[in-house]
Structure 1
Amino acid sequence: MTWVPDAPPPPPTMRWWHWLIALPRLVLLAALILLGLALYLAVRLIERPLAGGRRPVTARIQQEVCRATLAVIGLRVERKGAPMHEGGALVANHASWLDIFVLVAGQRLTFVAKAEVAGWAVIGWLARATGTLFIRRDRKEAGAQVAQIAERVGRDELLLFFPEGTSTDGRRVLPFKATLFAAFLGPGLAEDLRVQPIALRYTAPPGEDPRAYGWFGAMGFAPHFLWVLGRPRQGRVEVRYGAPIAVREVPSRKALAAAAEAAVRGMFEG
Protein backbone atom coordinates (compact mmCIF):
# COMPACT_ATOMS: atom_id res chain seq x y z
CA MET A 1 0.00 0.00 0.00
CA THR A 2 1.19 3.52 -0.83
CA TRP A 3 -0.39 6.58 0.72
CA VAL A 4 -1.26 9.22 -1.87
CA PRO A 5 -2.42 12.72 -0.80
CA ASP A 6 -5.29 14.63 -2.34
CA ALA A 7 -2.94 17.52 -3.15
CA PRO A 8 0.64 16.46 -3.96
CA PRO A 9 3.43 18.74 -2.77
CA PRO A 10 5.45 20.81 -5.25
CA PRO A 11 8.46 18.95 -6.69
CA PRO A 12 11.79 19.48 -4.89
CA THR A 13 13.69 22.46 -6.30
CA MET A 14 17.47 22.60 -6.44
CA ARG A 15 19.22 25.90 -7.16
CA TRP A 16 22.93 26.09 -7.89
CA TRP A 17 23.75 26.99 -4.28
CA HIS A 18 21.82 23.96 -3.08
CA TRP A 19 24.15 21.75 -5.11
CA LEU A 20 27.16 23.43 -3.50
CA ILE A 21 25.79 22.33 -0.13
CA ALA A 22 24.47 18.91 -1.18
CA LEU A 23 27.51 17.52 -3.00
CA PRO A 24 30.05 17.82 -0.14
CA ARG A 25 27.51 16.30 2.23
CA LEU A 26 26.85 13.50 -0.24
CA VAL A 27 30.56 12.66 -0.51
CA LEU A 28 30.94 12.72 3.26
CA LEU A 29 27.86 10.55 3.79
CA ALA A 30 28.99 8.02 1.19
CA ALA A 31 32.38 7.70 2.89
CA LEU A 32 30.79 7.46 6.32
CA ILE A 33 28.29 4.77 5.33
CA LEU A 34 30.80 2.70 3.35
CA LEU A 35 33.37 2.78 6.14
CA GLY A 36 30.70 2.02 8.71
CA LEU A 37 29.41 -0.89 6.65
CA ALA A 38 32.92 -2.28 6.14
CA LEU A 39 33.53 -2.14 9.89
CA TYR A 40 30.12 -3.67 10.57
CA LEU A 41 30.73 -6.64 8.26
CA ALA A 42 34.26 -7.23 9.56
CA VAL A 43 33.12 -7.24 13.19
CA ARG A 44 30.13 -9.41 12.29
CA LEU A 45 32.48 -12.16 11.07
CA ILE A 46 33.73 -12.45 14.66
CA GLU A 47 30.48 -11.61 16.40
CA ARG A 48 28.31 -14.18 14.60
CA PRO A 49 30.17 -17.33 15.82
CA LEU A 50 30.25 -15.94 19.35
CA ALA A 51 26.79 -14.37 19.65
CA GLY A 52 24.71 -16.02 16.92
CA GLY A 53 21.74 -13.88 15.99
CA ARG A 54 22.50 -11.31 18.68
CA ARG A 55 24.43 -8.18 17.70
CA PRO A 56 26.02 -6.73 20.86
CA VAL A 57 28.76 -4.86 18.97
CA THR A 58 27.49 -4.36 15.43
CA ALA A 59 24.22 -2.85 16.66
CA ARG A 60 26.29 -0.17 18.40
CA ILE A 61 28.24 0.48 15.19
CA GLN A 62 24.96 0.87 13.33
CA GLN A 63 23.72 3.31 15.96
CA GLU A 64 26.84 5.47 15.82
CA VAL A 65 26.77 5.62 12.01
CA CYS A 66 23.17 6.84 12.14
CA ARG A 67 24.06 9.51 14.68
CA ALA A 68 26.92 10.71 12.49
CA THR A 69 24.64 10.71 9.43
CA LEU A 70 22.15 13.02 11.12
CA ALA A 71 25.02 15.31 12.15
CA VAL A 72 26.24 15.55 8.55
CA ILE A 73 22.72 16.30 7.28
CA GLY A 74 22.24 18.85 10.05
CA LEU A 75 18.82 17.63 11.16
CA ARG A 76 18.20 18.43 14.81
CA VAL A 77 16.65 15.69 16.92
CA GLU A 78 14.75 16.32 20.14
CA ARG A 79 13.88 13.26 22.22
CA LYS A 80 11.27 13.14 24.97
CA GLY A 81 10.58 10.19 27.21
CA ALA A 82 12.61 7.07 27.89
CA PRO A 83 13.42 4.64 25.06
CA MET A 84 13.06 0.93 25.79
CA HIS A 85 16.21 -1.19 25.55
CA GLU A 86 14.99 -4.74 26.23
CA GLY A 87 13.54 -7.34 23.86
CA GLY A 88 10.11 -6.48 22.58
CA ALA A 89 8.59 -4.28 19.92
CA LEU A 90 8.68 -0.63 18.96
CA VAL A 91 5.97 0.87 16.78
CA ALA A 92 6.01 4.33 15.22
CA ASN A 93 4.25 6.48 12.67
CA HIS A 94 6.11 6.60 9.37
CA ALA A 95 6.87 9.80 7.47
CA SER A 96 10.21 9.52 5.72
CA TRP A 97 13.35 7.55 4.90
CA LEU A 98 14.87 9.78 7.60
CA ASP A 99 12.87 7.81 10.20
CA ILE A 100 15.39 4.97 9.92
CA PHE A 101 18.35 7.12 10.92
CA VAL A 102 16.41 9.00 13.58
CA LEU A 103 15.14 5.85 15.32
CA VAL A 104 18.34 3.79 15.11
CA ALA A 105 20.31 6.73 16.49
CA GLY A 106 18.15 6.63 19.62
CA GLN A 107 18.35 2.94 20.50
CA ARG A 108 19.72 -0.35 19.19
CA LEU A 109 17.03 -2.07 17.19
CA THR A 110 16.19 -4.24 14.20
CA PHE A 111 13.82 -3.06 11.50
CA VAL A 112 10.92 -5.05 10.14
CA ALA A 113 10.41 -3.88 6.54
CA LYS A 114 8.25 -4.81 3.58
CA ALA A 115 9.95 -7.22 1.17
CA GLU A 116 10.10 -4.62 -1.61
CA VAL A 117 12.69 -2.65 0.34
CA ALA A 118 15.24 -5.45 -0.18
CA GLY A 119 15.27 -4.62 -3.89
CA TRP A 120 15.75 -0.87 -3.53
CA ALA A 121 19.05 0.59 -4.67
CA VAL A 122 21.49 1.32 -1.83
CA ILE A 123 18.82 1.25 0.90
CA GLY A 124 17.94 -2.38 0.21
CA TRP A 125 21.58 -3.41 0.22
CA LEU A 126 22.21 -1.64 3.51
CA ALA A 127 19.04 -3.11 5.01
CA ARG A 128 20.03 -6.67 4.08
CA ALA A 129 23.55 -6.20 5.39
CA THR A 130 22.38 -4.90 8.77
CA GLY A 131 19.93 -7.68 9.61
CA THR A 132 16.57 -6.17 8.64
CA LEU A 133 13.72 -8.68 8.80
CA PHE A 134 11.78 -8.54 5.52
CA ILE A 135 8.13 -9.51 5.29
CA ARG A 136 5.67 -9.95 2.43
CA ARG A 137 2.16 -8.56 2.71
CA ASP A 138 0.67 -11.91 1.76
CA ARG A 139 -1.86 -13.63 3.98
CA LYS A 140 -0.49 -17.02 2.94
CA GLU A 141 2.86 -16.16 4.51
CA ALA A 142 1.51 -14.45 7.61
CA GLY A 143 2.01 -17.49 9.86
CA ALA A 144 5.66 -17.96 8.91
CA GLN A 145 6.37 -14.28 9.31
CA VAL A 146 4.81 -14.18 12.75
CA ALA A 147 7.07 -17.11 13.70
CA GLN A 148 10.14 -15.20 12.48
CA ILE A 149 9.23 -12.16 14.53
CA ALA A 150 8.60 -14.28 17.61
CA GLU A 151 12.03 -15.90 17.18
CA ARG A 152 13.76 -12.53 17.04
CA VAL A 153 11.93 -11.23 20.08
CA GLY A 154 12.76 -14.46 21.90
CA ARG A 155 16.45 -13.67 21.66
CA ASP A 156 15.94 -10.20 23.13
CA GLU A 157 16.02 -8.13 19.95
CA LEU A 158 14.09 -4.90 19.80
CA LEU A 159 12.03 -5.06 16.61
CA LEU A 160 10.65 -1.89 15.11
CA PHE A 161 7.91 -1.76 12.52
CA PHE A 162 5.57 0.83 11.06
CA PRO A 163 1.99 -0.44 11.52
CA GLU A 164 0.56 2.12 9.10
CA GLY A 165 2.10 0.06 6.29
CA THR A 166 3.24 3.13 4.33
CA SER A 167 4.88 6.50 4.81
CA THR A 168 2.89 9.74 4.85
CA ASP A 169 3.53 13.46 4.54
CA GLY A 170 4.39 13.62 8.23
CA ARG A 171 1.23 15.57 9.05
CA ARG A 172 -0.98 12.68 10.17
CA VAL A 173 -1.15 9.19 11.67
CA LEU A 174 -2.89 6.54 9.58
CA PRO A 175 -4.82 3.59 11.10
CA PHE A 176 -2.59 0.80 12.39
CA LYS A 177 -2.82 -2.63 10.77
CA ALA A 178 -3.10 -5.42 13.34
CA THR A 179 -1.54 -8.40 11.51
CA LEU A 180 2.04 -8.23 12.84
CA PHE A 181 0.93 -7.57 16.40
CA ALA A 182 -0.08 -11.25 16.57
CA ALA A 183 3.60 -12.19 16.89
CA PHE A 184 3.73 -10.64 20.33
CA LEU A 185 0.79 -12.62 21.65
CA GLY A 186 2.05 -16.07 20.70
CA PRO A 187 2.96 -18.89 23.12
CA GLY A 188 6.45 -19.22 24.54
CA LEU A 189 7.25 -15.51 24.78
CA ALA A 190 8.30 -13.77 27.95
CA GLU A 191 5.46 -12.76 30.26
CA ASP A 192 6.90 -9.26 30.63
CA LEU A 193 6.97 -8.58 26.89
CA ARG A 194 6.13 -4.97 26.04
CA VAL A 195 5.37 -2.81 23.01
CA GLN A 196 6.57 0.79 23.07
CA PRO A 197 4.76 3.42 20.96
CA ILE A 198 6.88 6.17 19.38
CA ALA A 199 5.67 9.35 17.71
CA LEU A 200 7.76 11.24 15.12
CA ARG A 201 6.95 14.86 14.33
CA TYR A 202 8.99 16.74 11.72
CA THR A 203 9.28 20.51 11.47
CA ALA A 204 10.27 21.73 8.00
CA PRO A 205 13.17 24.13 7.38
CA PRO A 206 12.18 27.82 7.58
CA GLY A 207 10.14 28.91 4.58
CA GLU A 208 9.59 25.37 3.23
CA ASP A 209 6.40 23.37 2.77
CA PRO A 210 5.38 21.85 6.15
CA ARG A 211 5.39 18.44 4.44
CA ALA A 212 8.96 18.90 3.24
CA TYR A 213 10.50 15.92 5.06
CA GLY A 214 7.66 13.56 4.15
CA TRP A 215 8.47 10.90 1.53
CA PHE A 216 5.30 9.45 0.07
CA GLY A 217 3.18 8.73 -2.97
CA ALA A 218 5.13 8.64 -6.23
CA MET A 219 8.07 10.65 -4.90
CA GLY A 220 11.46 9.35 -6.03
CA PHE A 221 14.11 8.68 -3.40
CA ALA A 222 17.07 10.36 -5.13
CA PRO A 223 15.43 13.78 -5.74
CA HIS A 224 14.10 13.95 -2.19
CA PHE A 225 17.42 12.76 -0.72
CA LEU A 226 19.37 15.43 -2.61
CA TRP A 227 16.80 18.07 -1.70
CA VAL A 228 17.30 17.30 1.99
CA LEU A 229 21.09 17.40 1.65
CA GLY A 230 20.94 20.75 -0.14
CA ARG A 231 19.07 22.71 2.52
CA PRO A 232 21.26 25.51 3.93
CA ARG A 233 19.12 25.43 7.09
CA GLN A 234 17.56 22.22 8.31
CA GLY A 235 14.45 21.74 10.41
CA ARG A 236 14.08 19.31 13.28
CA VAL A 237 12.32 16.14 14.33
CA GLU A 238 10.78 15.48 17.71
CA VAL A 239 10.80 11.88 18.92
CA ARG A 240 8.37 11.07 21.71
CA TYR A 241 8.70 7.74 23.51
CA GLY A 242 5.47 6.56 25.08
CA ALA A 243 4.91 4.30 28.06
CA PRO A 244 5.45 0.64 27.03
CA ILE A 245 2.27 -1.43 26.77
CA ALA A 246 2.33 -4.72 28.69
CA VAL A 247 1.26 -7.37 26.20
CA ARG A 248 -0.16 -9.69 28.88
CA GLU A 249 -2.76 -7.02 29.72
CA VAL A 250 -4.14 -6.88 26.16
CA PRO A 251 -6.63 -9.56 24.98
CA SER A 252 -5.98 -9.61 21.23
CA ARG A 253 -3.81 -8.36 18.38
CA LYS A 254 -6.53 -5.90 17.36
CA ALA A 255 -6.72 -4.52 20.88
CA LEU A 256 -2.92 -4.22 21.00
CA ALA A 257 -2.85 -2.42 17.65
CA ALA A 258 -5.62 -0.07 18.81
CA ALA A 259 -3.82 0.73 22.07
CA ALA A 260 -0.53 1.42 20.25
CA GLU A 261 -2.26 3.60 17.66
CA ALA A 262 -4.06 5.60 20.34
CA ALA A 263 -0.78 6.22 22.17
CA VAL A 264 1.08 7.30 19.03
CA ARG A 265 -1.79 9.48 17.88
CA GLY A 266 -2.05 11.10 21.31
CA MET A 267 1.65 11.99 21.39
CA PHE A 268 1.62 13.15 17.77
CA GLU A 269 -1.36 15.46 18.24
CA GLY A 270 -0.53 16.54 21.77
Structure 2
Amino acid sequence: MFRVAGLSAVSALFAHDAARVERLFFEERLKAKTGDFCKAMAAARKPYRMVEADELAKVAGTVLHGGVVALIAPRPVPAFDVEAAKRWAADGQPLLILDGVGNPHNLGAILRTAAFFGLRRVVVSDHPGQALPSESAYRVAEGGFEWVELYRAANLPTVLKRLRESYRVAGTALGRGRAVVTDPAVLARGERPAAVVLGNEEDGLPPATLAACEDILTLPGTGRIQSLNVAATAAILIHALAKPG
Protein backbone atom coordinates (compact mmCIF):
# COMPACT_ATOMS: atom_id res chain seq x y z
CA MET A 1 0.00 0.00 0.00
CA PHE A 2 0.96 3.65 -0.49
CA ARG A 3 1.23 5.91 2.52
CA VAL A 4 -0.29 9.29 1.70
CA ALA A 5 0.61 11.95 4.24
CA GLY A 6 -0.56 15.51 4.91
CA LEU A 7 -3.98 17.09 5.31
CA SER A 8 -4.19 18.45 1.75
CA ALA A 9 -3.34 15.13 0.11
CA VAL A 10 -5.60 13.09 2.40
CA SER A 11 -8.45 15.59 2.00
CA ALA A 12 -8.20 15.26 -1.79
CA LEU A 13 -8.35 11.48 -1.48
CA PHE A 14 -11.54 11.57 0.56
CA ALA A 15 -13.08 14.18 -1.72
CA HIS A 16 -12.43 12.25 -4.93
CA ASP A 17 -12.19 8.56 -4.10
CA ALA A 18 -12.70 7.76 -0.43
CA ALA A 19 -13.09 4.06 -1.25
CA ARG A 20 -9.36 3.85 -1.99
CA VAL A 21 -8.48 4.60 1.63
CA GLU A 22 -7.94 1.35 3.54
CA ARG A 23 -6.63 2.73 6.85
CA LEU A 24 -6.40 6.14 8.47
CA PHE A 25 -4.12 7.43 11.23
CA PHE A 26 -4.04 10.94 12.69
CA GLU A 27 -2.77 12.98 15.61
CA GLU A 28 -5.06 14.46 18.24
CA ARG A 29 -4.37 17.99 17.00
CA LEU A 30 -6.17 17.12 13.75
CA LYS A 31 -9.10 15.35 15.38
CA ALA A 32 -11.61 18.04 14.38
CA LYS A 33 -10.32 18.32 10.81
CA THR A 34 -10.41 14.55 10.26
CA GLY A 35 -13.88 14.03 11.71
CA ASP A 36 -15.56 13.59 8.33
CA PHE A 37 -12.81 11.20 7.25
CA CYS A 38 -13.47 9.07 10.32
CA LYS A 39 -17.20 8.99 9.58
CA ALA A 40 -16.46 7.78 6.06
CA MET A 41 -14.13 5.09 7.37
CA ALA A 42 -16.70 3.96 9.94
CA ALA A 43 -19.40 3.76 7.28
CA ALA A 44 -17.10 1.62 5.15
CA ARG A 45 -16.13 -0.48 8.19
CA LYS A 46 -12.47 0.29 7.74
CA PRO A 47 -10.00 0.96 10.57
CA TYR A 48 -9.01 4.45 11.68
CA ARG A 49 -7.11 5.49 14.78
CA MET A 50 -5.77 8.50 16.63
CA VAL A 51 -2.11 7.96 17.50
CA GLU A 52 0.82 9.78 19.09
CA ALA A 53 3.30 11.65 16.91
CA ASP A 54 6.06 9.07 17.26
CA GLU A 55 3.76 6.23 16.23
CA LEU A 56 2.47 8.25 13.28
CA ALA A 57 6.04 8.81 12.15
CA LYS A 58 6.55 5.04 12.14
CA VAL A 59 3.36 4.54 10.11
CA ALA A 60 4.35 7.27 7.66
CA GLY A 61 8.00 6.31 7.45
CA THR A 62 8.87 9.97 7.94
CA VAL A 63 8.39 12.78 10.44
CA LEU A 64 7.10 14.91 7.54
CA HIS A 65 3.59 13.50 7.76
CA GLY A 66 1.59 16.62 8.57
CA GLY A 67 -0.37 14.90 11.30
CA VAL A 68 -2.42 12.50 9.18
CA VAL A 69 -1.65 9.43 7.07
CA ALA A 70 -3.91 7.37 4.82
CA LEU A 71 -3.01 3.94 3.48
CA ILE A 72 -4.27 3.36 -0.04
CA ALA A 73 -4.02 0.74 -2.74
CA PRO A 74 -1.81 1.99 -5.62
CA ARG A 75 -3.82 2.96 -8.68
CA PRO A 76 -2.43 1.76 -12.04
CA VAL A 77 -1.47 4.42 -14.59
CA PRO A 78 -3.67 3.87 -17.66
CA ALA A 79 -2.22 3.70 -21.15
CA PHE A 80 -2.30 6.88 -23.20
CA ASP A 81 -4.79 6.72 -26.09
CA VAL A 82 -4.09 8.96 -29.08
CA GLU A 83 -7.69 8.66 -30.27
CA ALA A 84 -8.97 9.90 -26.92
CA ALA A 85 -6.44 12.73 -27.12
CA LYS A 86 -8.06 13.91 -30.33
CA ARG A 87 -11.25 14.58 -28.37
CA TRP A 88 -9.26 16.46 -25.71
CA ALA A 89 -7.66 18.55 -28.45
CA ALA A 90 -11.06 19.39 -29.91
CA ASP A 91 -11.91 20.77 -26.47
CA GLY A 92 -8.77 22.92 -26.56
CA GLN A 93 -7.05 21.17 -23.66
CA PRO A 94 -3.21 21.25 -23.65
CA LEU A 95 -1.01 18.36 -22.61
CA LEU A 96 2.21 18.17 -20.63
CA ILE A 97 4.38 15.15 -21.42
CA LEU A 98 7.32 13.93 -19.32
CA ASP A 99 10.01 11.75 -20.85
CA GLY A 100 12.54 10.44 -18.35
CA VAL A 101 11.84 12.83 -15.46
CA GLY A 102 13.17 10.50 -12.82
CA ASN A 103 12.95 12.41 -9.54
CA PRO A 104 9.65 11.61 -7.78
CA HIS A 105 9.78 14.99 -6.01
CA ASN A 106 9.78 16.69 -9.41
CA LEU A 107 6.87 14.54 -10.55
CA GLY A 108 4.92 15.46 -7.44
CA ALA A 109 5.71 19.16 -7.82
CA ILE A 110 4.59 19.09 -11.46
CA LEU A 111 1.29 17.41 -10.56
CA ARG A 112 0.74 19.98 -7.81
CA THR A 113 1.29 22.83 -10.28
CA ALA A 114 -0.94 21.19 -12.87
CA ALA A 115 -3.76 20.90 -10.35
CA PHE A 116 -3.27 24.50 -9.20
CA PHE A 117 -3.55 25.95 -12.70
CA GLY A 118 -6.21 23.56 -13.98
CA LEU A 119 -4.18 21.43 -16.38
CA ARG A 120 -6.30 18.31 -16.64
CA ARG A 121 -3.85 15.73 -17.97
CA VAL A 122 -0.18 14.81 -17.77
CA VAL A 123 1.44 12.02 -19.78
CA VAL A 124 4.59 10.14 -18.80
CA SER A 125 6.66 7.98 -21.14
CA ASP A 126 7.85 4.40 -20.75
CA HIS A 127 11.44 5.65 -20.37
CA PRO A 128 13.13 3.29 -17.87
CA GLY A 129 14.12 6.22 -15.68
CA GLN A 130 10.70 7.89 -15.64
CA ALA A 131 9.25 8.44 -12.17
CA LEU A 132 5.78 7.05 -11.53
CA PRO A 133 3.35 7.66 -8.64
CA SER A 134 5.01 6.90 -5.32
CA GLU A 135 4.73 7.87 -1.69
CA SER A 136 7.26 10.67 -2.05
CA ALA A 137 5.59 11.99 -5.21
CA TYR A 138 2.20 11.97 -3.46
CA ARG A 139 3.65 13.83 -0.47
CA VAL A 140 5.04 16.62 -2.65
CA ALA A 141 1.93 16.79 -4.87
CA GLU A 142 -0.27 17.88 -1.93
CA GLY A 143 -3.34 16.22 -3.47
CA GLY A 144 -2.45 16.95 -7.09
CA PHE A 145 -2.75 13.30 -8.11
CA GLU A 146 -6.48 13.43 -7.33
CA TRP A 147 -7.11 16.40 -9.62
CA VAL A 148 -4.94 15.51 -12.62
CA GLU A 149 -5.33 12.48 -14.87
CA LEU A 150 -2.00 10.71 -15.39
CA TYR A 151 -1.35 8.48 -18.42
CA ARG A 152 1.61 6.45 -19.63
CA ALA A 153 2.64 6.37 -23.29
CA ALA A 154 4.62 3.49 -24.79
CA ASN A 155 7.07 4.28 -27.62
CA LEU A 156 6.73 8.03 -27.16
CA PRO A 157 8.36 9.15 -30.47
CA THR A 158 5.75 7.20 -32.44
CA VAL A 159 2.98 8.57 -30.23
CA LEU A 160 4.17 12.14 -30.73
CA LYS A 161 4.16 11.79 -34.53
CA ARG A 162 0.53 10.65 -34.39
CA LEU A 163 -0.33 13.31 -31.84
CA ARG A 164 0.78 16.05 -34.25
CA GLU A 165 -2.47 15.56 -36.17
CA SER A 166 -4.38 17.21 -33.33
CA TYR A 167 -1.72 18.90 -31.16
CA ARG A 168 1.16 21.26 -31.80
CA VAL A 169 3.97 19.19 -30.29
CA ALA A 170 6.91 21.11 -28.84
CA GLY A 171 9.97 19.71 -27.09
CA THR A 172 11.88 21.76 -24.54
CA ALA A 173 15.56 21.98 -25.48
CA LEU A 174 18.27 24.27 -26.76
CA GLY A 175 17.87 24.97 -30.47
CA ARG A 176 21.18 23.54 -31.72
CA GLY A 177 20.56 24.50 -35.32
CA ARG A 178 16.77 24.35 -35.31
CA ALA A 179 14.52 27.39 -35.07
CA VAL A 180 13.13 27.81 -31.59
CA VAL A 181 10.01 29.18 -29.94
CA THR A 182 10.90 31.32 -26.93
CA ASP A 183 7.39 32.32 -25.79
CA PRO A 184 5.13 29.43 -24.71
CA ALA A 185 2.08 31.67 -25.13
CA VAL A 186 2.72 31.49 -28.90
CA LEU A 187 1.96 27.77 -28.75
CA ALA A 188 -1.29 28.44 -26.88
CA ARG A 189 -2.53 30.77 -29.62
CA GLY A 190 -2.33 28.23 -32.44
CA GLU A 191 -5.18 26.36 -34.12
CA ARG A 192 -4.12 23.20 -32.32
CA PRO A 193 -3.61 23.12 -28.55
CA ALA A 194 -0.06 22.60 -27.36
CA ALA A 195 1.52 19.35 -26.21
CA VAL A 196 4.82 20.23 -24.55
CA VAL A 197 7.43 17.57 -23.81
CA LEU A 198 9.95 17.85 -20.97
CA GLY A 199 12.98 15.61 -20.45
CA ASN A 200 15.23 14.96 -17.49
CA GLU A 201 17.62 17.56 -16.16
CA GLU A 202 20.83 15.64 -16.87
CA ASP A 203 20.38 14.64 -20.50
CA GLY A 204 17.26 16.46 -21.70
CA LEU A 205 14.98 14.82 -24.23
CA PRO A 206 16.17 11.65 -25.98
CA PRO A 207 17.12 12.36 -29.62
CA ALA A 208 14.26 10.28 -31.04
CA THR A 209 11.74 12.14 -28.89
CA LEU A 210 13.12 15.53 -29.90
CA ALA A 211 13.10 14.55 -33.58
CA ALA A 212 9.39 13.71 -33.30
CA CYS A 213 8.57 17.23 -32.07
CA GLU A 214 7.65 19.84 -34.68
CA ASP A 215 8.81 22.76 -32.52
CA ILE A 216 11.67 23.36 -30.10
CA LEU A 217 10.71 25.47 -27.10
CA THR A 218 13.45 27.29 -25.20
CA LEU A 219 12.90 29.57 -22.22
CA PRO A 220 15.46 32.37 -22.47
CA GLY A 221 17.32 33.45 -19.34
CA THR A 222 20.29 35.59 -18.42
CA GLY A 223 22.77 32.85 -19.25
CA ARG A 224 24.18 32.90 -15.74
CA ILE A 225 22.54 29.53 -15.09
CA GLN A 226 22.24 27.05 -17.95
CA SER A 227 18.77 25.78 -17.14
CA LEU A 228 15.93 25.63 -14.64
CA ASN A 229 14.86 22.72 -12.50
CA VAL A 230 12.39 20.69 -14.56
CA ALA A 231 9.56 21.34 -12.08
CA ALA A 232 10.21 25.09 -12.32
CA THR A 233 10.20 24.90 -16.12
CA ALA A 234 6.95 22.94 -16.01
CA ALA A 235 5.38 25.57 -13.75
CA ILE A 236 6.16 28.35 -16.24
CA LEU A 237 4.79 26.32 -19.14
CA ILE A 238 1.65 25.18 -17.34
CA HIS A 239 0.88 28.75 -16.31
CA ALA A 240 1.20 29.86 -19.93
CA LEU A 241 -0.80 27.01 -21.45
CA ALA A 242 -3.45 25.85 -19.01
CA LYS A 243 -7.04 26.99 -18.92
CA PRO A 244 -8.33 27.13 -15.33
CA GLY A 245 -11.57 25.33 -14.69
- Give the TM-score taking structure 2 as reference length: 0.31
Q: Which of structures 1 and 2 has the bigger CA Rg?
A: 2
Higher helix proportion = 1
Considering Cα pairs closer than 8 Å and 6+ residues apart, tell me whether 1 or 2 has the greater RCO.
1
